[in-house]
Amino acid sequence: MKQDLHDYSRFAELCLYIPYFESNNIKYTVSKQFSFDPFNYEDTAKEFVSKLYETNMIISFDWGKWQAECSEYLQNAALIQNVDLITIRKLFTTIIRADRFTAGTYAEMIEKGIILALLKRLEELLDDLA
């Protein structure tokens, strides 16, 4: 996947969300009414997903076939400390796309600290490029 430095600088925008995901602020609520998607995300949480698309962090690949490898990272956040940029992109893509099919995937990744871990690793990689 060819990248230029402009793309990398755009990814830095995502790191501005680290304090938000570090905070104890409510990031979503769950409706008690029957719904296929009872998760109501707070504005900043929704904005972050939009920013993933705007910065081209979300990529086109067969994320369904990558589920087994992805699952290892999502079950053990410590593994994220050593991932490369393409793996970060694959993980964000898989989380956001999976949330369309399984409501609450994004919420679970927020709660487990996976989103925060990915952002912190992204920040480290971008610092190394600077």
Please state the domain extents for the chain.
5-23+44-55+65-129
CB distance 86 to 70 below 8 Å: no
pTM of the model: 0.89
- How many Cα atoms are found within 13 Å in the side-chain-facing hemisphere of 120? 15
- Rounded CA separation 69/65 (Å): 9
Most confident of 31-40, 47-56, 73-82: 47-56
Percentage of the chain exceeding pLDDT 70: 93
Identify the pLDDT of residue 1. 43
What average pLDDT score do residues 18-43 get? 89
CB distance 90 to 59 below 8 Å: yes
Identify the pLDDT of residue 42. 95
Which residues 6+ apart lie within 8 Å of 91 measured at CB? 70, 73, 74, 80, 83, 114, 118
Q: What is the DSSP letter of 102?
A: S
Residue 2: band (very low, low, confident or very high) from pLDDT cuts 50, 70, 90? very low
Higher pLDDT, 31 or 18: 18
